[in-house]
Copies of this chain bind each other. A is one copy, B any other.
């Protein structure tokens, strides 16, 4: 084992341990442990950072590059550590200190519907994030530097026109849907005991191929997937006993993330190619968007399809005979695909979700560029919600204050949700082309060919390739919204009996 491999393994170990601490804090830890746990995580983060930026590691990286200038892991390491070394320590400290404080203030401000309370913290966060962008460096737009933290290679110049094209498609489609009668959904809100929800969801996750000898499902306030190498990939969900789709599709969503992590090639475990060095945590997926493409693909493309429920609805009905009495598979399928504009992103349906993302991305890129002031933010938010979703925002708590992201400085992460949708459709189209029997296989509950295609073209590579390279290799093209637009048009045209939609 080379010195570079040995030190990389140590760093990946430490990042995996940070993930264990994080998982435990969010699923198992008694409340009394929170303060000392935060100290423990901070100490371990410091140790990992120190090792990552140590002269010994730099020397090992350079030796690896001397031995093989095309060593992907070494190249990525050098890029990441060079970027991190460009960030002044004072800025890192200021950002860390502000994050803790700003999150608390945000929570208070949201509870009190008091944007002015949060505004100075947000201003400071925008300011420091811009400083961070300047330190990291960019070519055209400061927002590019932040995008790069979550979606390496994605630029504002590519992203904004792509989002605009989606808007031009989604808004008229939404308006057409709104003119149609609403599907029946009353049966989704009946009483569904959590234990039975869990059993059913977990069976579906296993049917997709989630390997429980290397994983487990727990409950948490916010669902997530996290991995400590491909050998231990855990997911969580949240049970609402009077709303069936939450835990059910939440589990399928996290299962998509988990299939990605469980599918990373074993030889990438304990390497830089299973570590996000800029974000300083262990992850096998190539980027946030690539990861999201897999959660969305399994949740929406597979799990919300008509074929899926034609196959699985009888078992669901057997599990919940009273709650679903007299409901057909077709009705259930329509209900879980209902489209309706809403104020809250995390409650949005498959179609309107992108509209929530677009408004955030446009506003945050302008904040970072200095084109929009924090003071003008609420009005800009509300105008956009009115224009895209047709809704009046009644208060900032249900408007500009709804998400935690900006209080933690996660500027640049929102786009990855929509980029994930776009990529999912591209990957799926490529899989369809490669697997002529795909639709029939999925209809019969055989998820192995799809999972194996995805593993072969995406999962096993870990972080070896950039998202763009991965997309090119798997689909033959760069980011292209057409397959996604085609999918949504066809799906909702059928579901809502619309005139054929461009």
| Chain B residues closer than 8 Å to A40, beta-carbon distance | 13-14, 16-17, 20, 228
* CB pair A232 B30 closer than 8 Å: yes
CA A36 to CA B216, docked complex, whole Å: 16
- Supposing A21-B17, A30-B212, A30-B215 touch, asked if A231 and B36 sit within 8 A by C-beta, the answer is yes
Tell me which residues across on chain B come within 8 A of A55, comparing CB atoms.
none
Q: Shortest distance in angstroms between A113's beta carbon and chain B's nearest beta carbon?
A: 30
6 shortest A-B CB distances, which residue pairs?
A33-B232, A32-B214, A13-B43, A36-B229, A13-B40, A32-B231
A259 to chain B, nearest CB (A): 15
Question: A448 CB to closest chain B CB, in angstroms?
Answer: 19
Chain B residue nearest to A13 in the complex (CB): B43
- Proximity bits, A211-229, B CB within 8 Å = 1, else 0: 1111110000000000011
Within 8 A of B (CB), among A434-477: none
Interfacial chain B residues near A232, Cβ < 8 Å: 29-30, 32-33, 36-37
Say whether A10 faces chain B, with CB atoms less than 8 Å apart: yes
Q: Which residue of B lies closest to A10 (CB)?
A: B43
A181 CB–B CB distance under 8 Å: no
Tell me, yes or no, whether A269 is within 8 Å of chain B by CB.
yes
- The count of identical subunits is 2
On chain B, the residues within 8 Å of A43 by CB distance are 9-10, 13-14, 17
Q: Is the CB of B270 within 8 A of A39?
A: yes
Question: What is the bound-complex CA distance between A21 and B232, given in angstroms?
Answer: 13
Tell me the interface secondary structure of chain A in the complex. helix
In the complex, besides A14-B40, A30-B213, 20 extra interface pairs with C-beta distance below 8 angstroms are A9-B39, A10-B43, A10-B46, A13-B39, A13-B43, A13-B44, A16-B40, A20-B20, A20-B21, A20-B24, A28-B28, A31-B213, A33-B214, A33-B228, A33-B231, A36-B228, A36-B229, A36-B269, A39-B270, A47-B47
Q: Please indicate the chain B residues that have their CB under 8 angstroms from the CB of A46 in the complex.
A: 10
Question: 0/1 per residue, A265-295, Cβ < 8 Å to B?
Answer: 0000110000000000000000000000000
Write the A1-36 contact mask toward B (1 if CB under 8 angstroms, else 0). 000000001100110110011001000111111011
Nearest Cβ distance between residue A358 and chain B, in whole angstroms?
Answer: 39
Nearest B-chain residue to A24, judged by Cβ: B20
Measured in the bound complex, the distance between the Cα atoms of B29 and A20 in whole Å is: 10
Q: Which residues of B contact A21 (CB under 8 A)?
A: 17, 20
